[in-house]
Amino acid sequence: MTTSLDKDMSAPTRWTKRHLLGLQQLDAAEITAILDQAAEFKRLAANGETKLSALSGVVVANLFFEPSTRTRTSFSLAAKRLSADTVDFTAAASSLSKGESFVDTARNIEAMGVSLMVVRHSSPGAPQLLTQQLKAGILNAGDGTHEHPTQALLDIFTIRENRGDLRGKTVALVGDILHSRVARSNIWGLKKLGARVIVCGPATLIPDGIERLGVEVSHNLDGILPETDCINLLRIQFERQRGAFFPSIREYAHLFGMNGSRIRRAKKDILVLAPGPINRGVEITPAVADGPHSVIIDQVTNGLMIRMACLYLLHQTAQNVLQVAAQGGH
């Protein structure tokens, strides 16, 4: 086990935040700091340095009040790769059923020596609520339909890795934008890095006024494909059909599904992303999902790197705060 991360603690860092709640409040430099750190971890991993000791002795808690296997596993592995200890909390088997409040649950876990918390919750703003009441660093793993910053960061990282600088690239987000935290975080991140963003989906699933965020709106996927460098296919939730958002899966797939004939009409080097889990045959056909344009599996690997970067940077801030306090002490 080796570490090549000899960070000079007195050197100014581009990252100074205690929490990562979303991409709305970050600037381009901060986003780039995370991407660069993830790239560094990926480089180290390629050189065989998969286990680093940067977070040795630190306890990271996963507070997942919404079910998730993939994201939770990704965060757990990220923490372990940095030699942190992890603790998992899932809503089902918990004191919540005994009536304990959300904040009390988090506060009790913090009291056990947890300094970093990864929080997923169905209610927008829930992680923010914790930053007001707790001292631990809070990382938002998805709060309702509000933001999912690490997902957008790994999407952007994957685009940068394959297509270089985001400036001037056209990225299309396709699907249920209205209910998507992934879409919102992606819009913030992509716009800050200078990309052109198009959102595309049924009119019932695109919120009014979204143009005010600087994105273009389209309901015609075929129309935008010739200009699209990267396409990110959001998962469509079947329950929305019962909510009268669209008539059937078949109709959705017909109008907005990424299939072979659409790939042929798209730009030759179009990059296909999807946050997963994917519904084969709905947002994307197996041929496209497994084909040469798809970077879906790379996204998963990159997700691990991004989450390591986020945990690392949040921990750095906490350490810097302690150092300054120790040095300062008048």
- Give contact residues for another protein (rule: CB under 8 A): 24, 101-103, 121-126, 128-129, 143-147, 181, 184, 207-210, 212-213
Cβ–Cβ < 8 Å for 150, 68: no
Q: Which is nearer to another protein, 55 or 178 (CB)?
A: 178
What is the nearest approach in angstroms of another protein to the Cβ of residue 158?
23
Q: Which is nearer to another protein, 15 or 102 (CB)?
A: 102
- Cross-strand bridge partners of residue 61: 87, 117
Q: Which is nearer to another protein, 30 or 143 (CB)?
A: 143
Q: Which two tokens stand for residue 31?
A: 């986003």
Cβ-Cβ contacts under 8 Å for 306 (sequence gap 6 or more): 34, 35, 38, 150, 153, 154, 157
Q: Which is nearer to another protein, 11 or 244 (CB)?
A: 244
Q: Which is nearer to another protein, 156 or 206 (CB)?
A: 206
| Residue 280 DSSP class | B
What is the nearest approach in angstroms of another protein to the Cβ of residue 307?
21
Degrees, nearest 5: CA angle 190-193-196: 55
Q: Which two tokens stand for residue 91?
A: 């809503």
Per the listing, tokens 């990220």 go with: 78
Cβ-Cβ contacts under 8 Å for 89 (sequence gap 6 or more): 61, 62, 63, 64, 105, 109
